[in-house]
Amino acid sequence: YKMSGLPAKTIGMTDRGTLAPGMAADMVVFNPNTVIDKATYENPTLMSEGIVHTMVNGQFVWRDGAATGVKAGKTLVRVKPAK
């Protein structure tokens, strides 16, 4: 909750931050023993290794270490609360 639920709640994103019915279901599955960031200053777009699955809005965009081609993301806009 501290890493995703609380920050989402703090900025008013009520449909994100936890895995529960009705939520966006964004998550990354990785092996902490093999995950490594390969990007460098010279080549900042090199892919990380060790990422197994990534879900965005409940859809696999990365599955079994490869892109699925699904474009599930959307631009998130922060709305100021009414006074």
pLDDT of residue 82: 66
Residue 72 lies in a domain: no
Report the predicted TM-score, pTM, of the whole model to 2 decimal places. Answer: 0.73
Sheet containing 51-56: give its strands across. 27-30, 51-56, 59-63, 66-67
Residues of the chain scoring pLDDT < 50: none
Domain that holds residue 37: 5-67
pLDDT of residue 40: 96
Residue 79 lies in a domain: no
Domain count, the chain: 1
pLDDT of residue 76: 80
The DSSP letter of residue 41 is S
Residue 42 lies in a domain: yes
Residue 53 lies in a domain: yes
Residue 48 lies in a domain: yes
Residue 80 lies in a domain: no
Residue 10 lies in a domain: yes
